[in-house]
Amino acid sequence: MKKKVENTWKQIWEENKNDIPSTNPMALEIGNDILKWIDNLEERSSLEVGSGTGIISALLVNYGFKVTLLDISETAIKISKDVFIKNKINGDFILGNLFNMPFKDNTFDLVWNAGVLEHFEGQEQIAALREMARVTKPGGMLITYNPYYRAIFYRIGKWWAERFGKWEFGPEIPVKSLKNKGNLTGLVFIKEYPICAKEQLGFLDRYIFKGMGKIIRYTTGWVPEQFWMQLFGGYLLASVFRKSENITSK
């Protein structure tokens, strides 16, 4: 599956090579969620694994992070560099593979990604988490955000797109939990929870008909967000781990 995912995303970034993205509500929500977990970090060195556009790492710079971005696509690296130039901020940009990263053990206080591990399954997810854990400092945080299996509208939109040959993101398996897989790598599980409640509605607009998500958003606007989340799920599942201070990477 690795090669198919790699080829799919290289093609996606090549097709979007002329776009310089701006911050959006989902990026802000992920960025704010990350900030909840950093108070106890001694330093603020961050690695985003599978960094794509880099817009969330760009947000973290404003909170004192020294950020490193790693992606397998040269085009994605160029896009993220353009984002940083546009915002007049600095970062380190590395072309590299999630499963064999060019960093020493115990390098970063925070290692994270969003929208990456759902493209793999089973042993590949364990291998990815193990490699991310390897470069995390003892006592540091590892956080990953992935499409959630209970995100009803995302799954409807994805099913529809796959049925009619419109799905362009390659293999993608909604995540139920990464707790046990993280534990197998020696990480200490902290918490899992859904975020980005209504961002999943965009999949209905994208693949079924434009305006469908807006209609649902309007008709359910009276529902409190936490209750809405219980009914329909959040788009992303946050899986939060800490690397034990009593072990070093093997």
Scan for tokens 């965009």, then name that residue: 202
- Residue type at 243 in one-letter notation: K
CB atoms within 10 A of CB 214: 13
Write down the domain spans for the chain.
Answer: 2-147+174-197+237-243
CB atoms within 10 A of CB 90: 10
pLDDT at 249 (0 to 100): 46
pLDDT at 201 (0 to 100): 96
Region label for 210, one of left (φ > 0), alpha (ψ between -120 and 50) or beta (otherwise): beta
3-state secondary structure of 67: strand
Using one digit for the tens of pLDDT, what is the confidence trace for 160-179?
A: 999 999 999 999 999 999 99
| Tokens, residue 8 | 């799919």
Cα R_g (the chain), whole angstroms: 18
Residuewise pLDDT in 10s, the chain (250 residues)? 677 887 888 888 888 877 778 889 999 999 999 999 987 676 789 999 999 999 999 999 998 899 999 999 999 999 999 999 999 999 999 999 999 999 999 999 999 999 999 999 999 999 999 999 999 999 999 999 999 999 999 999 999 999 999 999 999 999 999 999 999 998 999 999 999 999 999 999 999 999 999 999 899 988 888 899 999 999 999 999 999 987 554 4
Report the candidate in 157, 239, 158 with the shortest Cα–Cα distance to residue 195: 239
- Tell me 85's DSSP state: H
**From residue 11, how far is each of 73, 96, 156 by CA, in Å?**
9, 16, 25
- Residue type at 51 in one-letter notation: S
- Cβ neighbours for 133, distance < 8 A, ≥ 6 positions apart: 111, 142, 185, 186, 187, 241, 243, 249
The matching CATH number, chosen from 3.20.20.70, 3.40.50.150, 2.60.120.260, 2.60.120.920, for 2-147+174-197+237-243 is 3.40.50.150
d(CA 67, CA 60): 8
Q: CA triplet 191, 116, 214: central angle to 5 degrees? A: 85
d(CA 70, CA 77): 8
Contact 67, 57 (CB under 8 A): yes
